[in-house]
Chains A and B, each alone.
Chain A
Amino acid sequence: MDFAWSDQQRELLDAVGRFASHQLNYNVIENDRDGVFNHDAWKKCGSFGIQGLPVPTEYGGLGMDPLTTVAALERLGYACKDNGLLFSINAHLWTAVTPLVYNGSEAQKKKYLPGLCNGTLIGGNAMSEPNSGSDAFSLATTASKKGSRYIINGSKIFVTNGPVADLLVVFATVDKTRGPDGISAFLVEKDSPGMNVARKLEKMGVRTSPMAEVFFENCEVPEENLLGKEGGGAFLFTRSMTWERGCILASAVGTMQRLLETCIRYANERKQAGQSIGKYQLVASKIVDMKVRVESSRHMLYHYGWLSGHRKAVYLEAAMTKLHIADCWVKCCEDAIQIHGGYGYMTEYEVERELRDAIGSKLYSGTSEIQRNIIASMLGL
């Protein structure tokens, strides 16, 4: 495995860093407080090329391999302080764009991917339901065929990008008795009759990423919007979740690196009892732990990216990457606050927000407990 960047990769990563630090870091505190999605920043990311990173060039993307893609997202996380925006981009990439790339028909790809890449369309998925979360395949939403259309009925919760999405990948069963084999995926456009984005959900962190509860009441979807095969939804979801687990915390590695550098600077500048607080071993030790967490997370991320790009099985690695980075991210944020003392608890220092933003990573894309279950099962337990 070779993680030495070529000149072209380095050029791309530098461009991402420059773009993000200049274009995306405004009104972050206010938008977090008010729960505002930065639509303008989304469009800028689209025209810059972020949403097209892993998409083949013939559909308007950049056709980057997974390792380059996660490295670019890492750099994005380093330079962009709006974790909610990054979370929305990740949800869009791994739950809408990737399933389309791998399971979409030619017509579907041509219709949706260019817009999803250039920032004019926002995607997301609707899987979780009030009574099915970790046990996702027990979902109750139904889709029944009526002529050339499917009629979807049911309700979905925790739909990331729900309030702003133009296109949702909605999972529903065509036959409850078939269990997972009945689950199918549908491309549902915004304002489809019968689809109702019921309410925006308030949450603890990544507050600039909008989330909604979505109801489907006799929502009619043309049959050409079936994504993949009828009954192929569970397979599609598992593949999309593997992508998501492997990649969704790439930006968090960059965020951790930024936090580490912030803490080192603060520990050198802040003096107590006549010396920099970094000279106190209890503070230094926290920073050392942060460094080790960043490096180990980065290596797991690149390892996943390399394997994925070389078409190796990554089901286990994706779960381990997600589990490890989520743990490290939350711990890094706790340490960062502790190092900053009372100031770290204050909104204006922009450290407390990082912790609120990080905690969700142990819940979304499968809780840390689910990741452990996956790893245990892959170990024959």
Chain B
Amino acid sequence: MKILVSFKSVRDPSDVTVAGAAISTPKSVINPFDEIAIEEALRIRERGQAMEIVGVTIGAPPVDEQIRTALAMGVDRAIRIDDSRVLDPYAVARILGAVVKKEAPRVVIMGKQAVDDDSNQVGQMLAGLLGWPQATFVSKIEFLDDKTRARCTRETDAGLEVVEVNLPSIITTDLRLNEPRYVSLPGLIKARHKPIEVLTCDQLGVIVRPLTTVLSVERPPKRAVGTRVESVEELITKLKQEAKVL
């Protein structure tokens, strides 16, 4: 069985990691939900249920760093769609759709959303474009009946929902599916010899037509400096009169 994992390069949400030592330059990392998708693919292979894991991402050459991380974790080979434009979820889904047709995987696993734009649409759109079943927000995956179906546990507001999908299908991962492994130095060295195929939208025959346009991006308003109150009464008065929350 071949698994395709797609991942997005995002700004490191944790940034500073050592208490007492500021690591200055903001770094890019694999979107944490996609990292969970990669980890799950690796575990499926380690259980003997997959033969090959192909990673795919879209971006300019700097994302090769995140590709090497994926390869170092254990992904067998990678495809980078060389495109530096800001793409909306529909465009990403169409590009990934073309890659899926080229690679013909049995399962596509990806994060439920990216932590930078929180769109949460690519997996669903990709399933729609391909006409494949989808299992989203998944916290457990089991393959059944000689890998013709997958039983997935979904995390919903109502509780844990168990669904079965026929393969091939799209699975998007939730936070509690697994804890991704860290990249080891031997993995990093092995990754240097793993192939990265670079393709363009032209080569895939995809013409990107954005459906959404970002009009503006603004910083959230700065928080006002807090004040210290002397008593509970004063706090309640302020909550009523100034904050108007009571």
Footprint of B on A, CB under 8 Å?
Answer: 8, 11-12, 15-19, 21-23, 25, 47-50, 52-53, 62, 78-79, 81, 257-258, 261-262, 265, 350
User: Are B189 and A62 in contact (CB-based, < 8 A)?
Assistant: yes
Mask, B12-28, CB within 8 Å of A = 1, is 00000111111100000
User: Are B20 and A258 in contact (CB-based, < 8 A)?
Assistant: yes
User: Are B22 and A265 in contact (CB-based, < 8 A)?
Assistant: yes
User: Closest approach, in angstroms, between the C-beta of A68 and any C-beta of chain B?
Assistant: 11
Mask, B35-70, CB within 8 Å of A = 1, is 000000000000000000000000000000100100
User: Are A25 and B20 in contact (CB-based, < 8 A)?
Assistant: no
Which listed segment binds A: B109-117, B177-185, B202-210? B177-185
Known: A8-B192, A62-B189. A49 touches B21 (CB 8 A): no
Q: Which residue of A lies closest to B24 (CB)?
A: A261
Query: Which residues of chain A have C-beta atoms less than 8 A from B188's C-beta?
Result: 11-12, 15
Instruction: Tell me which residues from 182 to 198 in chain B have a Cβ below 8 Å from any Cβ of chain A.
Output: 182-186, 188-189, 192
Known: A8-B192, A11-B68, A62-B189. A18 touches B21 (CB 8 A): no
User: Are B182 and A48 in contact (CB-based, < 8 A)?
Assistant: yes
Range, interface on chain B:
10 to 19
Please tell me which one of the listed residues B18, B21, B185 contacts residue A15 in the complex, with CB atoms under 8 A apart. Answer: B185
CA distance A229 to B72 in the complex (A): 41
User: Are B182 and A25 in contact (CB-based, < 8 A)?
Assistant: no
Query: Which residues of chain A have C-beta atoms less than 8 A from B186's C-beta?
Result: 49, 52, 62
User: Are A79 and B18 in contact (CB-based, < 8 A)?
Assistant: yes
Query: Which residues of chain A have C-beta atoms less than 8 A from B23's C-beta?
Result: 17
CA distance A15 to B18 in the complex (A): 14
User: Are A78 and B21 in contact (CB-based, < 8 A)?
Assistant: yes
Query: Which residues of chain B have C-beta atoms less than 8 A from A19's C-beta?
Result: 182-183
Query: Which residues of chain B have C-beta atoms less than 8 A from A48's C-beta?
Result: 182, 184-185
CA distance A52 to B188 in the complex (A): 14
User: Closest approach, in angstroms, between the C-beta of B178 and any C-beta of chain A?
Assistant: 16
User: Are B182 and A18 in contact (CB-based, < 8 A)?
Assistant: yes
Query: Which residues of chain B have C-beta atoms less than 8 A from A50's C-beta?
Result: 185
User: Are A261 and B20 in contact (CB-based, < 8 A)?
Assistant: yes
- Chain A to chain B contacts (Cβ below 8 Å), 6 pairs: A16-B185, A49-B185, A49-B186, A62-B185, A62-B189, A265-B20
Known: A79-B17, A79-B18, A258-B20. A22 touches B182 (CB 8 A): yes
Query: Which residues of chain B have C-beta atoms less than 8 A from A350's C-beta?
Result: 20
Query: Which residues of chain A have C-beta atoms less than 8 A from B20's C-beta?
Result: 258, 261-262, 265, 350
Query: Which residues of chain B have C-beta atoms less than 8 A from A79's C-beta?
Result: 17-18, 21
Q: Which residue of A lies closest to B188 (CB)?
A: A15
CA distance A259 to B109 in the complex (A): 43
Most chain B beta-carbon neighbours within 10 Å: one of A8, A18, A22: A18
User: Are A262 and B182 in contact (CB-based, < 8 A)?
Assistant: no
Query: Which residues of chain A have C-beta atoms less than 8 A from B182's C-beta?
Result: 18-19, 22-23, 48
CA distance A273 to B18 in the complex (A): 30
Q: Which residue of A lies closest to B29 (CB)?
A: A18
CA distance A79 to B189 in the complex (A): 21
CA distance A17 to B188 in the complex (A): 14
User: Are A258 and B18 in contact (CB-based, < 8 A)?
Assistant: yes
CA distance A258 to B20 in the complex (A): 7
CA distance A191 to B136 in the complex (A): 53
User: Closest approach, in angstroms, between the C-beta of B182 and any C-beta of chain A?
Assistant: 5
CA distance A79 to B16 in the complex (A): 11
Query: Which residues of chain B have C-beta atoms less than 8 A from A78's C-beta?
Result: 18, 21
Please tell me which one of the listed residues B17, B68, B183 contacts residue A21 in the complex, with CB atoms under 8 A apart. Answer: B17
CA distance A350 to B19 in the complex (A): 10
Known: A48-B182, A49-B186. A18 touches B192 (CB 8 A): no
User: Closest approach, in angstroms, between the C-beta of A41 and any C-beta of chain B?
Assistant: 13
User: Closest approach, in angstroms, between the C-beta of B21 and any C-beta of chain A?
Assistant: 5
CA distance A11 to B188 in the complex (A): 8
Query: Which residues of chain B have C-beta atoms less than 8 A from A62's C-beta?
Result: 185-186, 189
Q: Which residue of A lies closest to B23 (CB)?
A: A17
CA distance A47 to B182 in the complex (A): 10
Query: Which residues of chain B have C-beta atoms less than 8 A from A12's C-beta?
Result: 185, 188
Most chain B beta-carbon neighbours within 10 Å: one of A21, A50, A350: A21
User: Closest approach, in angstroms, between the C-beta of B129 and any C-beta of chain A?
Assistant: 35
CA distance A50 to B21 in the complex (A): 21
CA distance A78 to B22 in the complex (A): 11
User: Closest approach, in angstroms, between the C-beta of B20 and any C-beta of chain A?
Assistant: 4
User: Closest approach, in angstroms, between the C-beta of B88 and any C-beta of chain A?
Assistant: 31
Query: Which residues of chain B have C-beta atoms less than 8 A from A11's C-beta?
Result: 65, 68, 188
User: Closest approach, in angstroms, between the C-beta of B196 and any C-beta of chain A?
Assistant: 14
Q: Which residue of B lies closest to A47 (CB)?
A: B184
Query: Which residues of chain A have C-beta atoms less than 8 A from B21's C-beta?
Result: 78-79, 257-258, 261-262
Known: A79-B17, A261-B21. 8 other contacts (CB 8 A): A12-B185, A12-B188, A15-B185, A17-B23, A53-B185, A78-B18, A79-B18, A265-B22
